[in-house]
Amino acid sequence: MAKLYFRYGAVGSAKTLNLLAVAYSYNQQDKKVLVIKPELDTRFGRETVKSRAGLEREADLLVTPNSILPLETFKDSHCILVDEAQFLSASLIEQLRVVTITLNIPVICYGLRTDFRNELFSGSKRLMELADDISEIKTTCSYCNRKGVFNLKLLGNVPTLDGPVVDLGSEEKYLPTCASCYNHRLPTSWAEQPGVQ
């Protein structure tokens, strides 16, 4: 049986670049890849899947939280790649799981594990529960050489815990940090925030 994969990493860890490299490899072997992207991600254009390194391609399928994925859409595909999987609903993740079981097609999802408050996104949560294979795409902290695991949000170049969970942006708004730098850069310690035990 084909597997459901979750490749997660902090912002700037080249998740989309990895996705585009996998798509290229399949295409070089004359194998069909279907690329899925959440409709809400319009940073580089509605249908464009683009890495910060500049590589890009068009998405084959745009999805919303309420999308229903007809199985016939995937029948000729050798692999399904999902960009920004954290924005998918739990229902979409479950449908992708069915694709791996019913059609025996591997599905590789790329995305953030947590938001800037260190809480799981709904799509990431469901992937952590259902994926056969979970692996981290690593990057370094923007402020030191430790591994970057958290996503620090900036508002006017000042670290913050305020604002909506879904607030699209790139380096001007989010930076990868280690736990120590994340905690020390916030105006008040993250550990002192309400709800943190």
Domains and CATH numbers, the chain: 4-136 (3.40.50.300), 150-192 (no CATH)
CA dist 189 and 196 (Å) reads: 10
Q: What six digits make up the tokens of 61? A: 């399928």
Which of 47, 58, 72, 84 is catalytic? The answer is 84
pLDDT tens-digit readout, 126-152: 999 999 999 999 999 999 999 999 999
Residue 45 has pLDDT above 90, yes or no: no
Contacting residues for 87 by C-beta, under 8 A, at least 6 apart? 38, 40, 41, 111, 121, 123, 166
CA dist 180 and 91 (Å) reads: 35
pLDDT tens-digit readout, 158-183: 888 877 666 655 555 889 999 999 99
- Strands 107-111, 79-82: pairing is parallel
Percent of all residues in the chain with a pLDDT value above 70, rounded to a whole number: 88
Residue 42 has pLDDT above 90, yes or no: no
pTM above threshold 0.85: yes
Apex 39 CA angle, 9 and 175, nearest 5: 30
Q: Which of 98-102, 104-108, 133-137, 158-162 is the least confident region?
A: 158-162
116: left (phi over 0), alpha (psi -120 to 50) or beta: alpha
154 φ/ψ angles, rounded to the nearest 5 degrees = -115, 140
Q: pLDDT-derived band of residue 196, with 50, 70 and 90 as boundaries?
A: very low
What is the average pLDDT value for the chain, to the nearest integer? 88
What is the pLDDT at residue 180?
92
Residue 84 annotated to the active site: yes
How confident is the model over 101-129, as a mean pLDDT? 95
Apex 89 CA angle, 163 and 72, nearest 5: 145
